[in-house]
Amino acid sequence: MTCLRNVPFSHLAWFAPVGTDSVRAWQLPLVAMCWHAAAQKAAKSSLLKFCAPDLGSFASMALTGNKQTSRTSLNMMQNRAAFLAARNGVRAHAKNLRIEAVRTQTQGAQPRIGLTVTKKNGNAVMRNRIKRRMRAAIISVSTDELRCDHDYVFISKPNALNAPFESLRSDIRALIESSHKRLDEKSVKS
């Protein structure tokens, strides 16, 4: 489904009944998810609450233009330089994953997470699935364990695709603890 956010209202004749009593229930989710002005009309419509009460969040998401943020949001590393800087830190290995962690120079910065899945792990579908599983496992492990002013790069091994989710979680928890221990030892020596 393509998003109709940038299409002028005159071209959306089939959205015309939105906000009126003749709106069809199947149009509301489409309108609420794809087009801001139509989402405003759909959010005000009493039919949205009547036909699809659980779609109120979609309408509010479309109105604000933002995804809902909560504990599940991670501060992801974006540029190659940050990944290369993490290579100069400490490394730890587990059954399904490896970690590279480094203390950053900025004070008070939130911890950043990087995910690396190489082509050794399979085709694009497999690599994306591994990334989704890793991201979910990192979120499910308490993000309070991550320290401020640190960058963490998690590198998957080929068996991460079929590993049980609980195994991924325990690997991540152990890798974070191990990297913190090694970083503390490294800072004491220098």
Report the range of poorest mean pLDDT among 95-104, 106-115, 152-161.
106-115
Same domain, 115 and 147: yes
Q: What is the pLDDT of residue 148?
A: 87
Kindly indicate the confidence band of residue 144, based on its pLDDT and cuts at 50, 70 and 90: confident
Position 3 in a domain: no
Q: What is the pLDDT of residue 186?
A: 84
Q: What is the pLDDT of residue 7?
A: 46
Q: What is the pLDDT of residue 27?
A: 53
**pTM attached to this predicted model:** 0.62
Total domains in the chain come to: 2
Q: What is the pLDDT of residue 36?
A: 53
What is the residue range of 132's domain? 80-189
Say yes or no to pLDDT of 55 above 80: no
Same domain, 51 and 84: no
Q: What is the pLDDT of residue 29?
A: 52
Q: List Cβ neighbours of 45 (8 Å cut-off, separation of 6 or more).
A: 18, 19, 20, 23, 28
